């Protein structure tokens, strides 16, 4: 089914799709929320009505993926079932129920000369979404972009090509039926790297890559437009001397084992040398009971002789599995150095009883999300109160952390007067 075509044709096709998305974005930008919400409701209904067709397309994708020998984790991400489709529809309905970010006033001030100055949220325009595997991203990213008044051009992975095409068709039909421009959501029929390059060099306003390191690097290298990356999460928990051992254990177990395959899962435990003999054994016991493999530094292994020795590659590594690196560090300073060197700027947690240590962690650690006495797993749009999200941004600009609808807007200044001129 994958279309192959010369690069020139592909560039032209991508550029045409982006041009049509640009025109659609102008329409979307000025729509009242009711019109956008009605379209989202139509998409949710379409998902339920068209479920059999989507599932059939997905079965074909799965079959091809199995023949191609895809890993089972990948197959799991790719697979749809009636429950997953219902969950997508529910996510779309929840996005519709959220506040419309467009037109929200960020700041308002009246100047001494009487000018009323406001900064208001406006849509970004055309967003390029580049992702892999999960077909639900096709629907949820489209819904979030639409809610924020943006058009979106999506390039999914080849393994989900048939599923994405079926989803794109029902989204397009829902837009048509709601009187919104069908071009507002466009799933590119090309899934190779040339399509990615053409897309991020087209007239779009923002590129959002979400996926493996190679994909993100490729986008960053070739983009001529702003890029917000959704990169890996190498999340740490530092357990401070004097910490409540029950709390530390709970945070380590929840961070590592509640869902090891996600980006906010814990990958490395740091423990203060001054208190490691007390803290490490009970924490390790609970982790081992949960089926976790521990890879420790030498000082860790002096306390936990059964831990496997950690190699240099284990620091800064995203295991995405029931494996945890463990390192004994010299106090808060040692933990800060480790995190600064090996962290991925995603989520970094401390477990401490000392207010000044918590304050230093909050201030010094440079990550999208800094956590004090809670699980790293809370770094998530739903948990932080945003609702659905497009992913967790690990870039520094234009947004960090969970990208909900507000993250898909920019701003403009509005100046209103009664004929004022500048002196």
The residue among 73 and 414 lying less far from its own copies, judged by its C-beta, is: 414
- Please report whether residue 412 would count as binding its own copies according to CB under 8 A: yes
From candidates 160, 297, 370, 403, binder to its own copies by CB under 8 A: 370
Strands (E), 59-197: 105-110, 116-123, 126-131, 151-155, 185-187
33-49 vs 136-147: helix crossing angle, rounded to 10: 160
Helix, strand, or coil here: 404?
Answer: coil
Q: How far is the CB of 245 from its own copies (least distance, A)?
A: 11
Sign of CA dihedral 147, 152, 155, 160: positive
Q: How far is the CB of 71 from its own copies (least distance, A)?
A: 26
Rounded Cα–Cα distance for residues 197 and 356 (Å):
47
The residue among 302 and 384 lying less far from its own copies, judged by its C-beta, is: 384
Both tokens of 339, joined, read 């995190």
Q: Would you give the DSSP letter of residue 16?
A: H
Rounded Cα–Cα distance for residues 266 and 380 (Å):
14
Q: Would you give the DSSP letter of residue 150?
A: -
From candidates 39, 80, 124, 130, binder to its own copies by CB under 8 A: 124
Map the footprint of its own copies across residues 371-410, applying CB under 8 A: 371-375, 377-379, 383-385, 395-398, 400-401, 410
Give which of 177, 91, 108 is closest to 142, Cα–Cα: 91
Map the footprint of its own copies across residues 259-298, applying CB under 8 A: none
- Please report whether residue 245 would count as binding its own copies according to CB under 8 A: no
Part of the chain binding its own copies (CB under 8 A), chosen from 11-19, 25-33, 63-71, 322-330: 25-33
CA gyration radius for the chain? 24
- Please report whether residue 145 would count as binding its own copies according to CB under 8 A: no
- Please report whether residue 205 would count as binding its own copies according to CB under 8 A: yes
From candidates 117, 177, 288, 302, binder to its own copies by CB under 8 A: 117
Could you tell me the maximum CA-CA distance found in the chain, to the nearest angstrom? 79
Q: How far is the CB of 186 from its own copies (least distance, A)?
A: 20
Helix, strand, or coil here: 100?
Answer: coil
Q: Report the interface residues with its own copies, using CB under 8 A.
A: 26, 29-30, 103, 109, 111, 115, 117, 122, 124-125, 205-206, 220-221, 224, 226-227, 244, 246-247, 250-251, 253-254, 258, 340, 358, 362-364, 366-375, 377-379, 383-385, 395-398, 400-401, 410-422
């Amino acid at each position: 089914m994958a279309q192959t075509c010369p690069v020139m044709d592909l560039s032209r096709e991508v550029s045409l799709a982006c041009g049509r998305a640009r025109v659609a974005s102008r329409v979307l930008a000025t729509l009242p929320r009711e019109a956008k919400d009605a379209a989202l409701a139509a998409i949710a209904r379409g998902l339920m009505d068209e479920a059999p067709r989507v599932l059939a397309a997905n079965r074909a994708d799965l079959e091809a993926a199995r023949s191609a020998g895809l890993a089972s984790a990948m197959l799991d991400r790719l697979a749809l079932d009636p429950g997953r489709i219902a969950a997508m529809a529910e996510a779309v309905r929840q996005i519709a129920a959220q506040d419309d970010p467009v037109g929200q006033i960020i700041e308002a001030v009246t100047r001494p000369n009487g000018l009323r100055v406001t900064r208001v949220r406006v849509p970004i325009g055309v967003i390029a979404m580049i992702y892999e595997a999960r077909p639900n991203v096709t629907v949820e990213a489209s819904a979030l972009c639409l809610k924020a008044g943006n058009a979106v051009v999506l390039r999914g992975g080849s393994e989900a090509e048939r599923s994405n095409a079926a989803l794109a068709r029902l989204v397009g039909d829902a837009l048509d039926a709601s009187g919104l421009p069908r071009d507002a959501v466009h799933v590119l029929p090309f899934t190779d790297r040339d399509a990615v390059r053409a897309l991020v060099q087209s007239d779009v306003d923002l590129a959002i890559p979400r996926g493996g390191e190679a994909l993100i690097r490729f986008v960053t290298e070739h983009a001529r437009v702003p890029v917000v990356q959704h990169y890996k999460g190498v999340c740490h928990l530092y357990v401070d001397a004097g910490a409540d051992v029950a709390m530390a254990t709970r945070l380590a177990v929840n961070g590592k084992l509640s869902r090891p395959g996600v980006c906010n899962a814990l990958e490395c435990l740091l423990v203060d040398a001054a208190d490691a003999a007390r803290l490490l054994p009970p924490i390790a016991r609970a982790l081992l009971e949960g089926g976790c493999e521990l890879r420790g530094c030498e000082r860790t292994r002096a306390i936990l002789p059964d831990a496997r020795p950690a190699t240099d590659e284990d620091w800064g590594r995203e295991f995405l599995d029931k494996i945890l690196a463990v390192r004994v560090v010299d106090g808060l300073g040692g933990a800060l150095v480790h995190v600064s060197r090996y962290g991925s700027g995603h989520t970094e947690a401390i477990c401490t009883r000392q207010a000044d240590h918590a304050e230093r962690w909050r201030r010094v650690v440079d990550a999208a999300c800094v956590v004090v006495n809670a699980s790293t797993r809370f770094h998530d749009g739903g948990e932080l109160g945003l609702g659905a999200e497009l992913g967790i941004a690990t870039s520094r600009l234009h947004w960090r952390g969970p990208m909900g609808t507000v993250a898909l807007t920019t701003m403009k200044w509005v100046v209103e007067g009664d004929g004022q001129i500048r002196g």
